[in-house]
């Protein structure tokens, strides 16, 4: 039985996982990872906003504090 357009791959593997237990384990492990880089892009963007040309001499501890405050 192939997955139809309304069934997600994770649902299909939950139903058919007993037929292929090892592949099912890999499928559930890797199919749950979101296919986006928005979180990492947002983090680098925040770092870029904090560390400007005029602030390159900031200590790493200060930069970490400012980035964590900027994310809130």
User: What is the mean pLDDT of each successive set of 10 residues along the chain, which is 72 residues long?
Assistant: 70 86 84 69 76 81 82 65
SS3 content of the chain, % helix, strand, coil (to 5): 65, 0, 35
pLDDT, position 30:
79
Do 20 and 46 lie in one domain? The reply is: no
pLDDT, position 37:
65
pLDDT, position 34:
67
Do 22 and 45 lie in one domain? The reply is: no
Do 10 and 23 lie in one domain? The reply is: yes
pLDDT, position 50:
77
Q: For residue 22, give Cα distances in angstroms to 11, 18, 28.
A: 16, 9, 10
Do 1 and 26 lie in one domain? The reply is: yes
Domain range enclosing 42? 38-70
pLDDT, position 71:
67
Question: How many domains is the chain built from?
Answer: 2
pLDDT, position 1:
58
Do 66 and 47 lie in one domain? The reply is: yes
């Amino acid at each position: 039985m192939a997955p139809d357009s309304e069934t997600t791959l994770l649902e299909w593997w939950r139903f058919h996982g007993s037929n292929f237990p090892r592949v099912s384990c890999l499928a559930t492990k890797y199919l749950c990872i979101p296919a986006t880089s928005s979180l990492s892009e947002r983090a680098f963007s925040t770092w870029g906003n904090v560390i400007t040309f005029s602030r390159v001499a900031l200590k790493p501890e200060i930069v970490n504090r400012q980035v964590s405050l900027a994310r809130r």
